Structure 1
Amino acid sequence: MHGRNIIKILRAIDLLSRPQGTTVTRLESELGVTRRSVYRLFETLDELGFPRFDEEVPGEKEKRWRLQEDYLHKLPNLRIPDMRLTGRELMVLHLLLASDRVFAGTAVEPLLCSIREKLASIMPGAYLSVAQSDRLESLFAAGTLHPALYHGKDEIIETLLDAVAERKVCTVRYEALGTGNEKSYLIHPLRLFQHDGGLYLFVQIPKHDSTRILSVERISEISISGETFVEPEPFDPDHILSHTFDLTLADPVTVTIRFTENAARRVRNRRWSATQQFHEHTDGSLTLEMTTSGSDDIVRWVLGFGGDAEIIKPAALRARIQEAISRLNATYPHTLFSVSPDKPASSG
């Protein structure tokens, strides 16, 4: 039996089970079907053994249909939710499903296609008609500009999905980003998540008793064992990610960064850290203070603003910026980059 028809049958049973019963007109309206389809549903219920009867109600033009009272006591308390999606719900669902470019060409892509097909089969009416789909396509664009490439990683991703779901211990070969060297690690895979066009994995490293984040694209081999593990407590991935600047898990650092008026427009309306505080200045510039982890990530971010951002403190990160500028001057000898060594924070 088609999934969409099952939902309609269950909703019809729900309406027929109510003390006041229901009318054919009400069934037409609630189920979004024709009068003829309602009577076909009645035939299906008869074949399934649901005893129904009709009764005249004084003052009403239409008969009411109900299930027999003694049969109702055998049924569970049926309350079928309304599966019809509003326009806004469809928009949000489409936006979520449209952010799947990171999984293109991987084992996850056919799973997403299967989810779409199953949603279409159980939703009353059209889940996404051609007109709706075209309309939604005109409202949203996939936002992942530079997704990681996972071609050839199908087996690794499938194994990770199973390992995370079943809490299985794994061994992986992993390439370090800084050196390019590969090492083997025994891991407890905790959570998969998507970030900035890439797929990442929270893991527990038993040898170091630490939680780390691995980039799936840098896993070259994986083997799953029959041994299971217990998730560490407390483990709150949302809390961890809200206190990292990018994805580097390290000791927290408190930074103060001054942005020019031009850069401030791009900074003030974003959430960079759960601890961030903005201080506006009369010249339109902005100071950001936050405690977060990932010093390397912060340095790269600030350098991306060029002369429109300056680390005021700590001194160690300011020195890192100066080192980077020295390397830039060596790379581009005919261009002078500079930063004042000991400029204090302005109060504005």
Structure 2
Amino acid sequence: MRGTQIIQLFKGIQALSKTNGTTINELMEVLGRNDRKAAYRMLETIQGIGVPVYEEKIHGQRAKRWKIDETSRQKLAGLNLPDFTISLPDIVALQLLRSQATVFKGTEIETTLNRLFSRLDAFVPEGLFASLSKLGPLFGSSNKWAKDYSGKEGILDSLVEAMLERRTCLVRYHSFQQGRETRFKIDPLYFFEYSGGLYLFVRTTAYDDIRILALERVREVAPTSDGFEEPKDFDARARLSEPFGIIADDPIEATVRVSADQARYLLERPYFRERVVAEESDGAVIVQLNTSGRHDVVKWILSLGSQAEVLGPPELRADVKKELEATLSGY
């Protein structure tokens, strides 16, 4: 039974529950259709689910009134169906959110999302969600490098619960930098997704600094009885607004010349468009960056190949040259 039919069914029961009952004409109004057969089918459906309905002749008229018996009517007196409507923009927004959940593939979260959409499917035109799936390029995540979090549900749940309750945790974490597993206490602050992976801003209690943990490298979580207050000087959204990666290190300034071929694409992005300090006659642009994440800035410059040249500072130019020479030595 579709969602619209369910709503009509409840409204039909409400009409039958009135003291004077309802007529077939009034049931047709509930259905929004001038179809007596459909109104009678609704009566049959209501009776079929065990609601006792009887007919009562109207004195001096051929018409009949249909009612629910008094005992059942009293039980149903408080029945109230909220006005639940879902528009096409609502559906499109939900489908977009669903498409961005590929990072949860294989986890209980994916199962829960699928179950939720199965329930919502009853309240939209039949086959609509299936039809929207044909618009894959509009909704589908383009990230082919999404990490696998199956089996991490317990750790994810523990971290979410600790974050909501503001509770310090003892974690066992595999550090690539140290090449081993370590144990330390954290205050979990903020989850975010980056390049197909789930990450977490935390404050380490031993050093009182903000760090980023990769969820897949968290091996164990043990919430403690200690609570914490969120640091007032920490703004996760501001930290994530920078375009160059997620590692916030020392500030870096960079002046980069980008060729005309690549400048066309670069200027489509507001971040770079706002940082153009000069335009050359051949269409090339010079951008001035003030950001953090030196490693990611170097990676971005290298990704442009011969279409980008570092003009300054000298040490950044030397870093890029060193990387290019190391790359060339392998060929």
Normalised TM-score (structure 1): 0.69
C-alpha deviation, 1:294, in angstroms:
0.6
Q: Is contact 1:14–1:80 with CA below 8 Å preserved after alignment?
A: no
1-side partners of 2:268 and 2:108: how far apart? 36
SS at match of 1:207: coil
The aligned residue for residue 28 of structure 1 is 31
Counterpart selection for 2:276 from 272, 278, 281: 278
C-alpha deviation, 1:303, in angstroms:
1.1
Q: Is contact 1:276–1:290 with CA below 8 Å preserved after alignment?
A: no
**Unaligned residue ranges in structure 2 (runs of 5+):** 16-25, 52-76
Q: Is contact 2:2–2:126 with CA below 8 Å preserved after alignment?
A: no
Change (3 A) 1:216 1:93: same
Change (3 A) 1:25 1:263: same
Is 1:191 the counterpart of 2:194? The answer is no
The aligned residue for residue 171 of structure 2 is 172
Report the AA paired with residue 102 of structure 1. V
Moved more, 322-331 or 239-248: 322-331
The aligned residue for residue 110 of structure 1 is 111
The aligned residue for residue 82 of structure 1 is 85
2-side partners of 1:204 and 1:6: how far apart? 49
SS at match of 2:100: coil
**Unaligned residue ranges in structure 1 (runs of 5+):** 16-22, 48-73, 333-348
Normalised TM-score (structure 2): 0.72
C-alpha deviation, 1:140, in angstroms:
4.1
SS at match of 1:258: strand
Change (3 A) 1:295 1:138: closer
The aligned residue for residue 60 of structure 1 is none
The aligned residue for residue 120 of structure 1 is 121
Change (3 A) 1:251 1:78: farther
2-side partners of 1:11 and 1:206: how far apart? 57
Change (3 A) 1:322 1:95: same
Change (3 A) 1:313 1:4: farther
How is 1:128-167 mapped onto 2 (pairs within 5 angstroms)? 128=128, 130=130, 132-137=131-136, 140-167=139-166
Q: Report the aligned-residue RMSD.
A: 4.3
Is 1:92 the counterpart of 2:93? The answer is yes
2-side partners of 1:134 and 1:324: how far apart? 43
SS at match of 1:98: helix
The aligned residue for residue 250 of structure 2 is 251
1-side partners of 2:207 and 2:101: how far apart? 34
Change (3 A) 1:24 1:322: same
2-side partners of 1:142 and 1:38: how far apart? 43
1-side partners of 2:190 and 2:13: how far apart? 40
Report the AA paired with residue 196 of structure 1. S
Change (3 A) 1:260 1:37: farther
2-side partners of 1:220 and 1:237: how far apart? 24
Q: Is contact 1:245–1:272 with CA below 8 Å preserved after alignment?
A: no
The aligned residue for residue 289 of structure 2 is 290
Report the AA paired with residue 296 of structure 2. D
C-alpha deviation, 1:241, in angstroms:
0.7
Q: Is contact 1:189–1:204 with CA below 8 Å preserved after alignment?
A: yes
The aligned residue for residue 239 of structure 2 is 240
Q: Is contact 2:201–2:211 with CA below 8 Å preserved after alignment?
A: yes
**Identical aligned pairs, as a percentage?**
30
Report the AA paired with residue 313 of structure 1. G
Aligned length in residues: 303
Change (3 A) 1:282 1:138: closer
Report the AA paired with residue 106 of structure 1. T
Q: Is contact 2:8–2:31 with CA below 8 Å preserved after alignment?
A: no
2-side partners of 1:213 and 1:35: how far apart? 61
